[in-house]
Structure formats: structure tokens, C-alpha cells
Structure 1
Amino acid sequence: VFSANGLSKYYIHQIACYLPSRADVLPNDISAKQPGYACVLANVLEAATWILSEPKFASDRAADIIAVSTSLLDALPTITSATETVFLYGLCTGADDDDDMAMDVDVKDELDIDLQKQIMAAFDSNTKLLEHLVNALFTGTLSTNYSDPSGPSDAEVEAVGSICAFLHVMFSTLPLDVTMTALAYRTDIVPALWNFIKRCHENQRWPYFSKYISPLPVDAPGWLLPVSVFCPIYKYMLKIVDNEEFYEQEKPLSLKDLKALVLILKQALWQLLWIIPSHTSPSQKALPNPLGLKKMSIDSLKSQARIGLSELLTQLQDWNSRLPFTAESDFYSQEATSENFVSQAILGNTRASEIIKLAPFLAPFTIRVKIFTSQLANSKQSTASHSALTRHRFKIRRSRLLEDAFDQLSLLSEEDLKGPIRVSFVNEHGVEEAGIDGGGIFKDFMENITRAAFDVQYGLFK
């Protein structure tokens, strides 16, 4: 119906106008596993694949499809586990429904299998849905080149807000490996978003962006949504990019832009980890989300942005270590060198210590060494207070070295593992070997257990 006789523009536009405030316009549920919203989503996505393939397709219809899909995807149960991913993606690629893997699926509010298949198939890379959606919305609106240093226009802000809200909800709903390939290699979303982020940053347009974009929570920084979408896509691209593309061809971003990118992303990450509270207060949670999207909450956006920023900057620092494109100090935050930060990081269980774990590149190497040596000294002092009576004694059969070691070490807590351990070996006759462990036997134990653990017969490592 949506794609027949030119009715698509009218019907999809009407749905976009009513959702999400008028959810009562959706058809009734066919059954518990076939809710009305999911059926409409499946049909809209299937029609969109056909509609968007038309060369004369207008970008305003792309905006309507994105608006409808964002609202309906937000209501879809999140597919997160590896088992669900394999199972559902197998449906799209024609895997046998009777495969043993399918028996392990346990999805809350599970949809009908055919309905799941229809929705997931729409995002398969062969359908080019994401490619058409992104390109149709950005063509003629958003540039991939830094040709206009002025702030983004209203049309650009609206286009970026719309596609980023759609992609954020999609990332929160569907397995990333189903969608990332099409986005990373069949669209220009990475250079287009970077150009937008750079222009907003240089022209201080983020406050305007946060007020103008309706899907964004009212208390969210303007850069939070574009950055949370940009980072995982660019990170995915860097997995495949080789040295020639990165350094010589400078694709997808120039080395000059990479320097600016590091500085902007570092500043954003520091704000998330150090300045902006990690947990939203009840009063902030009460602030309205203009479109009522559950997956566009401030906590969801901050969580995805923290992970994306830290992982992307880690990858960029790795590239910079191989062949520098910017100064190593560009990854550092000046605040991370302060005595206040260092003292908090040494204490542990503080925001500073979490920063060192999640984003160690924000602190210079000398600062990280200082923190580590202080923590090590504190740990040794705590361990030294253990009485000799608390020593743990292991009896290890040489014929069952790895198994006995695992069984006994697994019973110890983290603090116990820091304390003294005395080892005695039992030979093949079941007789305890002579000798007192003054350190030499324990050393022998560690050497043998390490050698055994990496033995190919156990298959613990590939």
C-alpha cells in the first residue's frame, strides 16, 4: 500500500505528523507477538527500500521516513545478546530456522519470527536502505568538504539532528554489525558529520543545536548526539583502513583535520568524565524529552558517547604512536596533571581513578606512572600487615598442575591473592615433596603454571 500508486508520500507523511504524540493512530495489535507498531515499522521499512531507490526521490520524504522509523524503532525491544544477533541475522541471510542456535534465543517481548525477519532484512547491507536514507537527506544539504567556515544553516542542523536521532535509536536497538558496514563504507556520513562538528565547534553553535533539535533531551549538550553517532562509525572504519589510506591518501579525514578532531573529542570526553555528572539526578530525569523517545534519554546518550569517545581516541592514539600526525600532548587534558586529580586517582573508587581506567591517554605517561607506583606502594603496605598465620598453603599435584592451581586460586579473593602463598608439590606417588617454600618453590610453581596454561593442548588461547 505504501509504495503503490504514489501513495507513499501522503501516508508516510501523515504518520510522521502524528507520531509519537498520537500513537493511537497505529493499527491494533494482531497478537502479543505482532504489535501494531512493529507491523507498521516493517511495512514502512520495506516500502522505504523501494521508494528511496528512485533517482527523483525528494529529501523531504527521506525526512518523513526517518521520523517514522525513529519513533517506531524506539518502541522495539532491544536486541543485545550475541545469541540473538546470530539468530536474527541468520534469518535475514537465509539460515536454517531449525539450527541449534535458534533454540537458545530468549528475547523479552519477543516479536513474531517472520516480523523480526522482515525488520532485520530491511537493514541488511544488500537492501541499501541506510545508504539511500543518509545520502538522500544529506545531498544538497550537508557538505563533506570544509568549504564554508560559517556556522551550519537551519537546514543542516535539522538534517543532522534527524539522522543522528535515527541512528542513535537504531544503534540502541539493533546489533551494530548489521548496520555499520553500510554506514561506514557506502555513505559519506563520517566526513559530513565531522565537517558539521568542526563548524559548530568553531562558531560556538552547540547551544543553538541543542535548542533546535526536538529529539534531544532539553538538558543535553548540543555536541552529545552528533558525537555519540560519529565515534562508533569512524572507529569501525579505522579497523579496515591501512597505512596508505590513512597517511598518504588521507581518507576519510585529512591529517590536519585529525589533529583538530583529537582536540575536540578530548575536550568532549573530559567534560563527560570529569565535569558532567555521570549519574542523572531525579530532577534532571524529570526534564522532558520533546519526542518522548525512551532510547534518547540523557543517560543513554552520555553512556554511548563515553564509550565511543574513549574507544575512538584510543584507536587514534595507537595510529599516532605508529607514525605521529599530532603531538602526543594533544591527547592529554591539562586538568589531569593537577595534584587534586592525582591524589583522587591514587585513592581508587573515585572519578579520577575511573578516568585512568577508561581513558588513560588523558593523563601524561609520567602522571600514570606516579599514580601506579603510589597505588603499588599502598597495596604493599596493606599486604605487609597480613599476619603470617593468614598465609595460604597449596598442595599441587605435578600431574594435575593447571587444574589444581585453578581450583585453589579461584577460591581466593582479590586481597588474598596479594598475600603470601606457600606451595608444596605432590609427586606421582601421592607423596609430598621435601622442601620448605622460601620463594623458590613458588617461583617454580608460577613458571610451570604459566607454561602449562599456554600449552596448545588446553586450547585456552588462540
Structure 2
Amino acid sequence: MFTVSQTSRAWFIDRARQAREERLVQKERERAAVAIQAHFRSFLRRSQLQKDIRKEIDEFFKADDSGSSKRSALCIFKIARKLLFIFKIKEDNERFEKLCRCILSSMDAESEPKVWYVSLALSKDLTLLWIKQIKDILWYCCEFLEQLKPEILQDSKLITLYLTMLVTFTDTSTWKILWGKGESLRPAMNHICANIMGHLNQHGFYSVLQVLLTRGLARSRPCLSKSTLTAAFSLALRPVIAAQFSDNLIRPFLIHIVSVPALVTHLSTVTPERLTVLESHDMLRKFIVFLRDEGRCRDICESLEGCHTLCLMGNLLHLGSLSPKVLEEETDGFVSLLTQMLCYCQKYVSQKKSNLTHWHPVLGWFSQSVDYGLNESMYLITKQLQFLWGVPLIRIFFSDILSKKLLEHPEPAPTQPASPQNVLPVKSLLKRAFQKSASVRNILRPVGGKRVDSVEVQKVCNICVLYQTSLTTLTQIRLQILTGLTYLDDLLPKLWAFICELGPHGGLKLFLECLNNNTEESKQLLAMLMLFCDCSRHLVTILDDIEVYEEQISFKLEELVTISSFLNSFVFKMIWDGIVENAKGETLELFQSVHGWLMVLYERDCRRRFAPEDHWLRKDLKPSVLFQELEKDRKRAQLILQYIPHVIPHKNRVLLFRNMVSKEKEKLGLVESSSASPHVTHITIRRSRMLEDGYEQLRQLSQHAMKGVIRVKFVNDLGVDEAGIDQDGVFKEFLEEIIKRVFDPALNLFKTTSGDERLYPSPTSYIHENYLQLFEFVGKMLGKAVYERYDGDIADLGLTLSYDEDVMGQLVCHELVPGGKTIPVTNENKISYIHLVAHFRMHTQIKNQTAALISGFRPIIKPEWIRMFSTPELQRLISGDNAEIDLEDLKKHTVYYGGFHGSHRVITWLWDVLASDFTPDERAMFLKFVTSCSRPPLLGFAYLKPPFSIRCVEVSDDQDTGDTLGSVLRGFFTIRKREPGGRLPTSSTCFNLLKLPNYSKKSVLREKLRYAISMNTGFELS
């Protein structure tokens, strides 16, 4: 327990401590109050002082205008010093404007040194203060320039004022004080100007000019006047010229000035004399020397990012087009820097949209941020980029190739399709493309041809790398680039001749071995091949048959034969050697380029032959070997079928296709076997409503049922079931008839092209109810026809970027691009217009119809099954051979019953009637009468199942019980049981059987047969 004295003591101490703390708090409060009061008094005093100064400045500028020019420089200096002391941009912008006008007015005074503001620089007491003041004033001018908008009239006037201030005090040429006797002072004054300019550069002078120029020029029409643009560009040049083009100033000049969108275009239009200054100082050469260094170029690109790197490229290309002599001397450096810039942009080009990509009108999907403020000037930037693939630059870059003469060509080939007899001999130079070359290790030996490490080859390779990089980077103007590169007719053939001369012997092996060498040299050689393939593919794609076969633009036909042989071998080797299986990146791009060019040539040859017979086949690839590899699921065999099935004979491909179908039928249980029978679908079809009944009864069938057995019972026009049992023959007749009807243009599901009358989906097919379901049904019927081995009979320029269509009597305008009806077709966009119209007519306009047709076809026929056929081959697969019936082939594969034989009198008459008396159409009707198909089988009558048969009959079909010994003997010895003159020939289409009475006269046979085949009433003739 505490005592009373101890408690009192503790209480006393605690009370003293509290009192002490309260006194300290009170002192802090008093100090804070004094500080606040002092600060507030200071604020009030400063505010009052600022008001007084501003009032004084306003009174200074309110003086009469007539006397303002007479004010002494010292007065202006003092008032400027006061303004700068209290200067705030928002409050004092008008005062600063008046100060600048006052200073410029003093500089214009005549013969009054005391009035000239610059005269203070000569005063020993004021020189340093004046220099600091003018630095501050000029930097405030820069800050205002950074904020002003040149499209606003008032701001435009202020921009002119502040630029005039900068122009006046960064160069001594307009200083009157230095005229005459003051000329001796010019070096010292120039030093002061350089000091001022250095100060501005340190604070970001080039950034200010970049903002100003971009705001004024990053648009389709510049809003900077000639004087403004001249002043701004002159200011930009002054530091660079003063520093004698040092790297430290060339770098910011490139980053901030030369990267302004379409700057050179606007300079050439508004103030072309500024470009003369650039040329007089040889600026382009200095830019090339600076940028050809890889490190410097990468630094510039990283500072600018992709969008503005394109702007820099465009301006450099425009400068290059204006200075061809410089480019001729600095080609290597210019090509190098352009390639590096494109490679930098390419790193960020994406093939598809994602959360990390942005759309760029030239680069496509781009993973860097996109400056959408450049969109308005993108048209001009693109026009600048077009200099890269313009004729002048191409002539400069490819001068080594274009200056050489090709070997003399023979006379053009005949205009008719080439045959093995009229194919022209291949030039000896081009033959070298197929000779074996040494390994890559031995390429450098000077055995013959061009050494791969020679200066000439390296130069051409670098140029090809540049253009190939531009194709993969500038994705949205790829067609423009290809069109430009193919403009000169002699470039591609001379480039091909150059390729053929590479290495000791030139040729295929050289490029194949480059695939296995990850060296820079190999990449460049392959880039050359890719560029050649991409350009040639583009050219031949847009040329018509007259230009290819008659005029033979760029390539002679014998050159196309040689090139296609090279490409065929190259692609085959890439696949067969396993290079394509795991290809990615550059190797995959190479394969796509070479394969694309190959297929264009192959498809062109399929339409109209220029190559010899069996030109596309690989003699070293046996079909049996390929089929064995397919059985083992080898990837390379599958790739052969996917990419170059034409290296296998057509007959073997058809057999392979049928084998695939047969295997699937077995797998699905659609084949008759001892253990099970396939499910059969029965349908009844009225001949008068064949399409409607077929559509209603078949459209709901499942994919499995469509592939299965379908039996048809026809009902004639009288409502009576037709005679005959469907054992596939009636269904084949149904298929041919229904396909013929849906493709009839009168139905308006399909239309025909003018001239060759080829079918395509009708854009106005929507007038039919459920028209898309009808197209799907057509696809199913086509698929079923191919699945069952049925060979059926399937048979202006505008002024704007729009397409006008007459729809049900009304004119409908379709814009090919947004706002296309207001965009005129010009020389610049006419190629794009052609592509847009073709894409609209053959894709956009009939997209839904085509998709519906394909959706009906593909469930029955797998895409990989038909990928092995070209377009004409697929047409033959669907429609059968479009050739006349080969009677000799039919006769060779005919089987006779009932006493008939090949030398029988009636049989001899039959073949003679078919050959001599029947027209081709009647022979087709005869074939349809017997087989239900009007065209011969794809591979000939040897593949008709069951085989074509002719049987001698003595009685009508109702009384026919089959062949007996007596009937066979009577038929064999031409003994008639009774005169058959009143009976007509009949047929069993399910069995491809012709039932022919034993006629006594050839004329009777001809008459009865012609009547029978023309009736087209199925089994009812009996």
C-alpha cells in the first residue's frame, strides 16, 4: 500500500508534466499561427504585386500603336522581365502575344539601334540577362506551339507569330544591327544563336515541332500555310546543319521530323524549295549512312514504334524517288535500312484478331498500339510506300538483272492448246535448272555459273529479301505490291534466268539443300525463290488466256513448262523427304509460295494445255508404293494426295477414290453380305413432280440413309406405277433427271455464264421458298451421284466501287467497300475494283447458296476424297467424260446373250447404225436408254458395272422367261420364231442390258431403235 506522502508526490509530478506539455502545445500553435499569417500576408502581397505588375504591363501595351515601335529595347526588356517574373500560361497568354508582337515590331524598325531588341545583346551589363530572357521567351513560344491547333484560324495566326519569333532569334540573317559595319559582330552573334538553339534542343524543341507538324499535316489536306510549313521545317533543319550533321542531331531529326506523316509529300506540294535544301546538303545520303547501321536503325524503330516507322519509311522512299542518283550509289545501304524497318514492324504483325491486337489499315492486325490519329493521312503514307514497288525504284534495284539480255526466244507457240508434238524446245539456259548441283559446301567453287557468295548475287538476294519482307509485313496492300513488281514484263523472266544460273550448275538440288542449312545465305536464296513464285503466281492469275497463250506476256510457254517441272519436283521432294511434315515459319511460307505458284500453273494447264502429255506425273513414284504408304497411314503419302495429287495418274486416283468409297460402305454396313442385308429406303416419285417429290422424300434422310440403298418407284402421268423393279438403274435415271432439272436456268436456282455457259448459283434464287434447303438438297444429290459412281449430265465495269444489280425489276446498289458508291474507280484502284467485283459476284453474293450446297454435298463425300482432283477432273468425276461415246471401247467390252455374238448380222447392223446413222446426241440417248446414264464411265466401259450386255429376245417382256437352248440356237443361226417387226427394243438399266429383237432388216432396226430411245418412258416400252 502507498502512503499519503507518496501519492501526493506522484500527483504533483504528473500535474507538472501535463502543464509543461500544454505550454509546448501552446507555443506550437502560436508559431503555426504566425507562419500562417506570414504566408497569407505574403500571398496577399504577392497577389497584389502580380496585379500591380500586370496592370503596369497592360498599361505599357495600351500605348498608341504609332509609338509602340519607337519604344526602346531597354523598355521592352524591362517589361518582358516583369512579365516573365509573374508569368502564368493561362492568365498571361494575351500579354505574351503582345510582348512577342512588340519585340518583332522593334526588330523591324529602320536605322534605330536603340529600338532593336537584339541590340541589348551587345551591352556588357545586359548580355547574359538578355540571353536568359530570350531563351525563356522562345521556350514559352514552344509551349504555346505545342498547345495550339492549326485548323483553328486564331490559333493559326498565333502559330505564325511564335514561329516568326523562333525563326528571328535562332538565326542572325535578319538582324539589321549586323548589317554594314556590324558584320564583324556576326560570328559572336551566331555563337549566341547556337547557344539559344542548344537550349531549346535540350528542352525538347524537336518534340514541339513534331506535334505542330503532325497536327497540321496528319490529314488528307494540310492546314499549315506555306509560310508556316516553311518556317517550321527551316527551324528543324537549323540545328542539324549548325552541328554539321552530327549523329546526335540526325537521330532526333529522324525520330521527330522525318517521321511526320507524309511530310515530304506536303513539302513537295506546298513548299518544294525546302526539298531543294535537303538535296543541296545531300541529306538522303546522310540518312542512309546513319540508318544502315543495324544498331542505330533498331534504336530509331524502337523509339518510333511500328506506326511511325512506316511514316519514316514513306518519307525516305519519297526522298529516294526524288534523288535517283543517290539511290544508285547507295542501293545496298538503302535496301538494308528498309529491310530492317520492315523486319521490326513484322515482329508485331499478327495473322488474326486477339485481345492484344489492334487493326492497322496497312499492317493488318498489329500487336503494338496504333495511333488512330494517323488514319486520315494513311492514304498519303500508302502512296509514299508505293514508291518501293514503283517502276523507277525497281529499275534501280534490279538494274543488274534488267540490264542483261535473255537468250533469243523462238517464235511464239501456236494459239491452240499445246500438245506433245507442238511444245517448243526448252532453252539450254533453263535446262540447267534441273541439272544436279553440288552440295552446299561446294557451291562456292568457281566451277561454272554464278558463285553464290558473289557481290552480284548477294545484292539481288538482299533486294529480294526486302520485297519478300514487304509482302509479309504490309499485309493489307500485298496485292498492290505484287502488281507493282509484275508491271515490268521482263523482270520475272530475267529473275528466273538469274535463279537458273546460281551455283556451279544451278537447279533443284541447290534449293533443296538450302532447306537443311539454317544459314543467312540459304535464307536469302530461298527468299529469292519465294519472291519469284509469289510474283509469278499473281501475274499469271490475272492474265487471261490470250495474254498467256497468244501474246505470251512475261513468260513464253516453253518457260512455263520448264518452271512447272522445277516446281513440281521441288514440292514433291519437300513432301517426300519429310520437310513439310514439321514445317513452320519461313519453311512453311516457302512451301506455300512454291506450291501456290505450282497449282496456278497446273490449273491453267487443266483448262487449256500448254505442257506435254504426262508432264505433271512423277515417273519415280509408283502408285502401288503410294497406296501402300496410305494403307500404313504415312504422313507423306497423305500430304501428296492433299497438295500434289496430280503426280499420280488420273486413272489411279479415280480407283483410289472408289476404293475409299467402297471401304466406307463396308464400314457402314451398306454392302450385301452373307450375314446381313443393308437397309433399303423406298420412295415413290411422280414423273410430273419429280423435283418436288424427290425434295420432300429425301431432304429429311439422315447422312447414313443417304449413303445407303434407295429404291425408286416411278408413277407415270396417268397415276399408274411404271413397270420394272429398281435394282439401281431406276434410281440412276431419277438422279440424272432431277439433277438436270435443278440445274436448268429456267428454275433460277442456277445461272449460266456467257460464252461457255458454265453454271453458278443464282443470286436471285431467294425467290424460291426454302431456297437454301433446296441448295442443300442439290448438294446431297450431287454427293449421292458421286458416291454411287453415277456419271450425270451437269451441264460492267462501273464507275464507283459498287455493283448495281437488277433484282425483280428494281436496281439495287451493293457497295463493294464502305461508302463505295461515292468512291470513283481510278487508275490507282482499278485492280482492286476488279478483285472486289469478282469477290462480290463469286463469293459474297452467292455465299449462302454455295454454303448450303456444300453442306449437302460434304456429309456424303468427304473433302479429302475429292481434294486429289483438279477442278476439271472433279467436274468429270461428277458429270462423266464430256467426250463422244467411244463405240470401239463399248464394242470391246460388250457381253452377248441369247445367241447373239460379235459377228451376228443384227449386232453388225446395230454398231453400223450407231456409228453411221446416229448423231452424237442420239448415241448419248442410246447409252442412257440402256444404262440410264447419257455419258460414258469416267475410265471407259471396262469400268461399267454390270458390263454392257445385248440379249436376243423373241417375245415381249411380259412373256420373257429367259434364255433357253432353243432360243439361243435360233438367235445364233438367225432363225426367227416369228417376225419381230412390231416390237421395240427394251432395256434393263439396272443390269445395263439391251433386249434386242432379231430384226430382219437394218432399216427396221434403225427405225425401232431410234423411236425407243427417244420416248424416255422407262420400262413402259415393252
**2: CA distance between counterparts of 1:66 and 1:247?**
38
| Change over 3 Å in CA distance of 1:373–1:446 after alignment to 2 | closer
User: Is the CA contact (8 Å cut-off) linking 2:495 and 2:532 kept in structure 1?
Assistant: yes
Aligned partner (choices 238, 251, 266) of residue 553 of structure 2: 251
Following the alignment from structure 1 to structure 2, what is the Cα–Cα distance between the partners of residues 66 and 406? 62
Q: Distance in 2 between matches of 1:380 and 1:332?
A: 30
CA drift at 1:343: 3.0
Report % sequence identity: 17
Structure 2 length normalisation: TM-score? Answer: 0.34
**1:405 Cα deviation after fit:** 7.7
Q: 2:519, 2:379 → 1: CA distance?
A: 28
CA contact (8 A) 2:617 2:646 kept: yes
CA spacing shift, 1:207–1:114, aligned 2, 3 Å = farther
Are 1:88 and 1:117, in contact at CA under 8 Å, matched by a contact in 2?
Answer: no
Residue 612 of structure 2: aligned partner: 327
- Corresponding residue for 2:534? 232
1:182 shift after superposition: 1.4
Letter paired with 1:451: R
Amino acid at match of 2:491: I
Query: Aligned residue for 2:339?
Result: 67
Partners of 2:369 and 2:594 in 1: how far apart? 28
Q: 1:422 to 1:279 in 2, by over 3 A?
A: same
User: Bigger CA drift: 435-444 or 42-51?
Assistant: 435-444
Who is 1:129 aligned against? 388
Offset, 1:226: 2.6
Q: 1:72 to 1:461 in 2, by over 3 A?
A: same
**Offset, 1:48:** 0.3
Contact 1:394–1:423 (8 Å) recurs in 2: yes
Name the structure 2 match of 1:139: 399
1:245-394 correspondence runs (5 A): 245-247=547-549, 249-280=551-582, 297-316=586-605, 318-319=607-608, 321=609, 324=610, 326-345=611-630, 350-382=635-667, 383-384=670-671
Which of 29, 32, 45 matches 2:314?
Answer: 45
Q: Aligned in 2, Cα 1:201/1:26: closer, same or farther, shift over 3 Å?
A: closer
Higher RCO (C-alpha 8 Å, min separation 6): 1
SS in 2 for 1:251: coil
Aligned counterparts of 1:121 and 1:416: Cα–Cα separation in 2: 60
Structure 1 residue matching 2:593: 3-state secondary structure: helix
Alignment partner of 1:408: what SS? coil
- Distance in 2 (alpha carbons) for counterparts of 1:112 and 1:385: 69
**d(CA) in 2 for partners of 1:242, 1:273:** 31
Contact 1:391–1:421 (Cα < 8 Å) also in 2? yes
Partners in 2 of 1:155 and 1:307 — Cα distance? 31
Contact 1:125 1:182 (8 Å CA) reproduced? no
Residue aligning to 2:284? 8
- Distance in 2 between the 1:309 and 1:344 partners? 24
Using the alignment, how far apart are the partners of 1:369 and 1:221 within structure 2? 39
RMSD between superposed Cα atoms in Å: 4.8
Distance in 2 between residues matched to 1:157 and 1:79, nearest whole Å: 32
Take 1:447 and 1:276, find their aligned partners in 2: how far apart are those partners? 47
Note closer, same or farther for the CA distance 1:74–1:106 as it changes in structure 2 (3 Å cut). closer
Residues 306 and 368, structure 2, Cα contact 8 Å, conserved in 1? no
**Alignment partner, residue 978 of structure 2:** none
- Distance in 2 (alpha carbons) for counterparts of 1:401 and 1:126: 61
1:107-152 CA-to-partner distances (Å, cap 9, x unmatched) read 7667344546756765559944312443221113565534698225
Cα deviation for residue 233 of structure 1 reads 1.6
Are 2:443 and 1:156 equivalent residues in the alignment? no
1:141/1:155 contact within 8 Å kept: no
Aligned residues: 410
Equivalent residue, structure 1, for 2:102:
none
Displacement of 1:381 after TM fit?
Answer: 4.0
The superposition leaves residues 165-207 of structure 1 with CA deviations (integer Å, 9 ceiling, x where unpaired) of: 2333333341443322212124643123211221127724888
* TM superposition shift of 1:12: 4.2
Give 1:18's aligned residue. 294
Letter in 2 for 1:139: S
The alpha-carbon deviation at position 74 of structure 1 amounts to 1.4
Distance in 1 (alpha carbons) for counterparts of 2:460 and 2:341? 16
**Aligned 8 A contact 2:401 2:495 in 1:** no
Alpha-carbon offset, residue 305 of structure 1: 2.9
Per-residue CA distance 1:199-224 (angstroms, 9 max, x = gap): 127724888889999x9766968764
The question of whether the paired residues in 1 share the 8 Å contact of 2:294 and 2:340 is answered with: no
**What secondary structure, in the 3-state scheme, does the structure 2 residue paired with 1:327 have?**
coil
- Range 355-364 or range 144-153, more displaced: 144-153
Question: Of 708, 721, 738, which residue of structure 2 is paired with 1:448?
Answer: 738
Gaps (5+ residues) in structure 1? 30-35, 82-86, 93-104, 286-295, 426-432
Query: 1:130–1:182: 8 Å Cα contact kept in structure 2?
Result: yes
Cα distance change, pair 128–44 in 1 and its aligned pair in 2 (3 A):
closer
Letter of the 1:448 partner, please give it.
I
Aligned partner of 2:700 in structure 1 is 408
Aligned partner letter, 1:37: G
Aligned in 2, Cα 1:262/1:398: closer, same or farther, shift over 3 Å?
A: closer
SS at match of 2:579: coil
Deviations 1:35-90 (A, max 9, x none): x1321123212430342243423223541353234313413424679xxxxx987x
Closer/same/farther in 2, CA of residues 450 and 106 from structure 1, 3 Å limit: farther
Of 479, 484, 489 in structure 2, the residue corresponding to residue 182 of structure 1 is 484
Q: Which amino acid aligns with 2:700?
A: Q
* C-alpha contact (below 8 Å) 1:184/1:237 kept by paired residues: yes
Equivalent residues of 2:616, 2:647 under 8 A apart:
yes
Q: Which amino acid aligns with 1:268?
A: F
- Partner of residue 425, structure 2: none
Partner of 1:54: 323
Shift in Å, 1:10: 2.8
Closer/same/farther in 2, CA of residues 400 and 116 from structure 1, 3 Å limit: farther
Distance 2:695 2:521 in 1: 54
TM-score by length of 1: 0.68
CA distance in 2, matches of 1:270, 1:117: 48
Gaps of 5+ in 2: 1-256, 259-263, 265-274, 354-358, 408-428, 430-447, 715-719, 751-759, 763-1022
Which residue does 1:166 correspond to in 2? 466
Aligned match of 2:982: none
> Aligned to 2:335, what secondary structure does the other structure show?
helix
Deviations 1:277-336 (A, max 9, x none): 32338xxx8xxxxxxxxxx633333333333333334435644x2xx4x42233222232
Alignment of 1:420-431 (within 5 A): 420-421=709-710
Task: Tell me, yes or no, if the aligned pair for 2:533 and 2:593 is still in contact at 8 Å.
Answer: no
Larger Rg: 2
Q: 1:237 Cα shift? A: 1.8
Which range moves more in the overlay, 124-133 or 260-269? 124-133
Shifted more, 343-352 versus 353-362: the winner is 343-352
CA distance in 2, matches of 1:405, 1:201: 67
Q: Using the alignment, how far apart are the partners of 1:15 and 1:146 within structure 2? A: 36
- The DSSP-based 3-state class of the residue aligned with 1:185 is coil
Distance 1:277 1:259, change over 3 A: same
Asked if the contact 2:292–2:337 (Cα under 8 Å) also holds between the matched residues in 1, the reply is yes
